[in-house]
Structure formats: C-alpha cells, structure tokens
C-alpha cells in the first residue's frame, strides 16, 4: 500500500539566508470561473496586520503542491521586505499546519444569503428556490454531496435567507479597473454577511457548531466570473476560514456551477484534460472542470453536477487506499473496479499506479447511471495522470493528437479490448470485460516498453 504523503516542506528558489524576510498567516484561495471560459486564480495571505496578495512565478507554481492548503497556516519568505498589505512576491512558502487537515468529513452545512445591489431591484429567484437547492433528494445538494463523497459528508442543516439590500450600488462593488470590471470580493463578503446578519446566526447551524460555508447569491453579474474559495473572517464570534462562493444569476441557474464553486470552497483546484491548450474546463468527466458538460438536466435547477475524479476524492478523504488497488513495481493483477457512483461495493473503487517521477495514475470506472452520471459522454475506464504540484493536478489521459473534441473524448474512455500503456514506467491497463457494476481490468508492469505513444487499441 502506498503511504500517505504528509507535506511538511520548504520550497525555495534561490533565496540566500542573509536576504530572507518572513511572515506567517493563513493561506486563502479565490478561483474565478467565467461564463465564457475565463479563469482566474488568486492567492492571499491573511495576517493580523492585513491581507497580502501573493505573487508566485510560473516555475514556482509548477513545483509547489499548495492547492490543498486552503485555510492552512503558512510562512512566506521573500528576497524583498514584506509589505503590510498589497501584493507580495514570494520565493519560499512553508507549511506550518499539517496538511492532513485537508480531509473533509461529517456535517458541512452551508447558508445561502441573497444580496441585492442597492441600484438593482430584480430578485431572480426566491427564498424557496435557494432552500430547495439543499434538499436531500435527487437534484438537491445534500443528496449530491452524500453520493459524491460516498456518504462521508453531508450538507444537512443548510438553509437560505431572503433577499437583503447591500448599502452601495453595483459599481462600488464591481469597479472598472484598467478597462475591465473587477469584483471586490472582500467588500462583497463583508457587506453581504453584515446585511443578512439579522437573519442568520453564522455561529450556529443548528447542530451546535458554525456553518461550514456561505453561498452568496447576487442579483446581477459580478465581473467575468462566479467565484469560490475561502475567507478568513470573524462572524458572530467565530474566527475561521469560511468556505465561500460568490454567485451571479447565471451560476445559480445551473446547480453544477454551484457544486463546482462549493468544490473550490472544499479546497479543490480545477481538473483538466491532456490537450495542452491551458483551458481547465474541458475535462467532461469532472465537475471541477466542465461543470455542466454532459451533465444531467433538472427542470428546476438546470444542469446538475457530476462526480469528481478519484484523486480529488482521495485528497478529501472520501476514499482511502483500502478501497482501491495500489499497484507495485512488479504488479500483474486482474481487478474489478465498480463505477464511481456506487454507494457501497466489495470490489475496488479505483486503482492507483505510483510512478517513479513522483506522479501517479488513478483508474476509475464511469457508467451512464444514476442521478448525476446518466448523461456522461460514454462508459468505460477513465484514467487521470496526477502531478500534485501542477495548477490543475489531475489531467484525464487521452489518445494522442485528436482531430476533434469528440475524438478526444472518445480517446479518454478506455473500453473492452483497449489497453493504455504508460510511457513513464511501462505500466499497462487493459480493459478485459464489462461487469454488472463496472469493468474488469488487468494492471501489469511491462518489462520492455513497446508503445511510446501511451496507448494501444
């Protein structure tokens, strides 16, 4: 069995000891997801003195496995004096709090607060709509997260409050900067939570603890994007990193987008595919990539969420290595992998293939079944190559050089009679047969690597 990795590390790029400036704080992420494919990722350090925007080099981000560190206490180091606020270039980041806390389990109640800009009167949906979104029935978020997490989490106790008015006009919250609208997420959070504070006690979700997260529903567009992430803040006597989303009307018309942004709130980055185009929204097998592609339609809540890939489930503690097959350097094993939405199984939920360069593959079965997976592109084995330091760690594996999007998608699902061959360590994954709830596969270490293109069919 592969050991869990506990990240207590220092990532350094050319810093000399006599040039080092240090500061501790809580790491925050904000992921912006545009209606038309725009995407933005922002990193902040919340300190007692203020909030710093963190600026990392591209080389740094390819090496730094920080995407599971939302809400963790870290130390940054820089070659230049560290400011009290504003933007700070970072040369070194050190995790102080153990990343094992990335697991998400148990009750995770959210509250939706609906906030109107002072100069915009429309109320796109009512309180009943937002309350119903949390239902524990097919199409509801409590039902959805229970299934996706294999009943490791729920959002029972979630609630929505009615529309409240913000004290300022939209242009105050969404100013034009350098020719483009740029939502002030901090001000939106502060004013939206303050305006609704008389309607909700953020410290008490009815289960003896505070709400885990806050979905803010606005009555007009923000900037390019819907946003998800975390916010270190004091609300009703509770100081912590709140899981947070900032939602314009186009996002809460499709529940899959809400699930995507809540996934960011749970600490997940984007997934991706392997086409190399930089677009993080074209992996149709994962709600943390293509939130609404090949998704199930609901007559009230639009496109619903799909499942997340197994590396993300494993990161959050929703599956563990005892539920999967962990390959060894000399593996030659035939296993049955059941499809990902199964509530319980005595077969494998996934396979994991560790590689000599520190990356790994996850192997999972996807079938067009159930409340959230029945409109998938296809059925078969789906393989992700995972590099933890990458901005989108899991990339779904495909055949090389597809001529069209559909051909690429067809190349992402491995069917009976097809064999994936890894070009790093020479593992093969052969799909042998369909079973009642998944697929039988043979995972084998190949002594003499023949296929250099990564697949054979």
Write out pLDDT tens, residues 13-53: 444 445 789 999 999 999 999 999 999 999 999 988 889 99
- Sorted by sequence, the CB contacts under 8 Å of residue 346 that are 6+ apart come out as none
- HSE (CB half, 13 Å, CA atoms) of 219? 23
User: According to the model, what pLDDT value does residue 303 have?
Assistant: 98
User: According to the model, what pLDDT value does residue 201 have?
Assistant: 97
Cα separation of 47 and 155, whole Å? 30
Angle subtended at Cα 95 by Cα 25 and Cα 33, rounded to the nearest 5 degrees: 75
Write out pLDDT tens, residues 248-290: 999 999 999 999 999 999 999 999 999 888 899 999 999 999 9
Q: Give the C-alpha distances (Å, rounded to integers) separating 241 from 25, 110, 136, 446.
A: 12, 13, 26, 46
Domain ranges of the chain: 10-102, 106-267, 325-456
Q: Are strands 21-34 and 73-78 parallel, antiparallel or unpaired?
A: antiparallel
Question: Could you please report the per-residue DSSP string of 38-101?
Answer: -EEEEEEEE-SS-EEEEE--HHHHHH---TT-TT-EEEEEESSPPPSSEEEE-SEEEE-S-GGG
Q: Is residue 412 helix, strand or coil?
A: helix
Cα separation of 134 and 353, whole Å? 36
Q: Sheet holding 350-354: strands in order across?
A: 272-273, 394-396, 380-386, 360-366, 350-354, 324-326
Q: What is the pTM of this model?
A: 0.92
Q: Regarding the domain delimited by 10-102, which CATH topology (the fold level of the hierarchy) does it fall under? A: OB fold (Dihydrolipoamide Acetyltransferase, E2P) (2.40.50)
Write out pLDDT tens, residues 44-53: 999 888 899 9
Q: Token digits for 282?
A: 């074209």
Q: Token digits for 272?
A: 């991706």
Q: Is residue 269 helix, strand or coil?
A: coil
């Amino acid at each position: 069995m592969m050991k869990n990795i506990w990240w207590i590390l220092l990532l350094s790029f050319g810093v000399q000891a006599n040039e080092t400036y240090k500061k501790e704080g809580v790491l925050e992420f904000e992921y912006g997801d545009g209606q038309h494919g725009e995407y933005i990722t922002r990193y902040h350090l919340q300190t007692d003195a203020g909030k710093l925007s963190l600026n990392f080099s591209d080389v740094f981000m390819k090496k730094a496995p920080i995407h599971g560190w939302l809400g963790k206490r870290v130390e940054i180091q820089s070659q230049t004096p560290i400011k009290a606020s504003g933007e700070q270039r970072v040369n070194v980041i050190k995790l102080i709090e153990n990343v094992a806390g990335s697991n998400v389990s148990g009750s995770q109640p959210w509250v939706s607060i609906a906030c109107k800009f002072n100069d915009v009167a429309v109320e796109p949906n009512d309180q009943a709509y937002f309350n119903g979104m949390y239902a524990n029935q097919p199409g509801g978020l409590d039902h959805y997260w229970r299934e996706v997490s294999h009943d490791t989490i729920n959002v029972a106790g979630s609630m929505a409050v009615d529309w409240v008015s913000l004290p300022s006009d939209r242009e105050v919250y969404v100013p034009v900067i350098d020719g483009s609208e740029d939502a002030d997420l901090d001000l939106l959070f502060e004013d939206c939570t303050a305006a609704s504070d008389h309607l909700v006690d953020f410290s008490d979700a009815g289960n003896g603890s505070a709400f885990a997260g806050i979905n803010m529903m606005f009555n007009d567009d923000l900037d390019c994007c819907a946003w998800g992430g975390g916010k270190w803040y004091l609300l009703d006597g509770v100081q912590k990193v709140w899981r947070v989303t900032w939602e314009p009307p186009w996002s809460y018309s499709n529940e899959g987008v809400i699930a995507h942004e809540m996934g960011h709130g749970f600490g997940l980055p984007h997934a991706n595919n392997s086409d190399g185009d930089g677009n993080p929204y074209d992996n149709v097998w994962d709600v943390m990539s293509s939130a609404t592609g090949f998704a199930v339609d609901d007559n009230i809540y639009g496109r619903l969420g799909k499942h997340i890939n197994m590396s993300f489930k494993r990161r959050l503690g929703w599956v563990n290595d005892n539920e999967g097959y962990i390959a060894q350097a000399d593996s030659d094993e035939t296993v049955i992998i059941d499809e990902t939405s199964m509530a319980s199984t005595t077969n494998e939920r996934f396979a994991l293939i560790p590689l000599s360069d520190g990356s790994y593959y996850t192997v999972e079965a996807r079938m067009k079944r159930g409340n959230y997976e029945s409109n998938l592109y296809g059925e078969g084995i789906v393989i992700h190559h995972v590099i933890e330091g990458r901005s989108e760690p899991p990339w779904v594996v495909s055949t090389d050089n597809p001529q069209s999007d559909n051909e690429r998608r067809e190349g992402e699902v491995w069917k009976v009679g097809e064999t994936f061959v890894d070009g790093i360590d020479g593992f093969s994954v052969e799909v042998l047969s369909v079973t009642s709830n998944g697929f039988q596969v043979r995972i084998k270490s190949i002594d003499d690597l023949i296929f250099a293109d990564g697949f054979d069919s």
